[in-house]
Amino acid sequence: MKLEYYGHSCFCMTFASGTRIVTDPYGDVGFRMPRTEADLVTVSHGHYDHCNVAAVGGAPEVLSSPVTCEKRGVNISAIPCFHDDAHGAKRGKNLIFRFRAEGLNLCHLGDLGEPENERIIEELRGTDVLLIPVGGHYTIDAVEAKEYVRRISPKLVIPMHYFTDGLQVDIAGLQPFLSLFEASSILRYGGQIDLDRNFVASHSGKIIVMERIRYGS
């Protein structure tokens, strides 16, 4: 699987079969999404910085509700949770998407806002790659994200939904989250990683910081 980071909470997964899945495409957040096409788009919730399906070419099928299904060789589960710590009273609901293919289990937490939810932790045990929001304010913050990482114990962690240059969303940067881990466990990559079982096994326990692919790349 090739994993590309488009910024904010948006990733593109390209599988060996050619199937492409884009997660949480964003609207006007201060920078533009790269040009891309996909077969499937997953939307964790209906806020403008996560649901800009029109930015993705290729007439993709959109998954935006709780579901368990197989699409183009990928097993997908959408797990309902809340966008805040008040059972949705502040910001509504959120979906966690879990993808299983090519011997890997990857989870995208969307805008998870519930700190240390036991049901979610149990659901996500056995995760190989965890894409987790860390910027706080609208989601769990750095400390809460660290606790999820500790309890779920994924092999790899990729932080998302944090402040970067140009972003016009009021969230914290990445450093508060990274400061909670040993420097030796943090690796920095470009905008693309080729994920397979060997890569995951050889990098187990690492935090992978990906660089955003820019518009026009």
Task: Tell whether the model's pLDDT for residue 116 goes beyond 90.
Answer: no
Q: Are 139 and 111 in contact (CB under 8 A)?
A: yes
What is the average pLDDT score of the chain? 96
Listed in order, strand segments (DSSP E) in 102-135 are 104-108, 129-133
Give every CB contact of residue 6 below 8 A, 6+ residues apart in sequence.
Answer: 12, 22, 25, 33, 34, 36, 212, 213
Are the C-beta atoms of 161 and 111 separated by less than 8 Å?
yes
What's the pTM?
0.97
Residue range 63-90: mean pLDDT, rounded: 95
At 144-194, the pLDDT tens digits run 999 999 999 999 999 999 999 999 999 999 999 999 999 999 999 999 999
Which residue segments constitute the domains of the chain, with CATH numbers given? 2-210 (3.60.15.10)
Express as a percent the part of the chain with pLDDT over 90.
Answer: 96
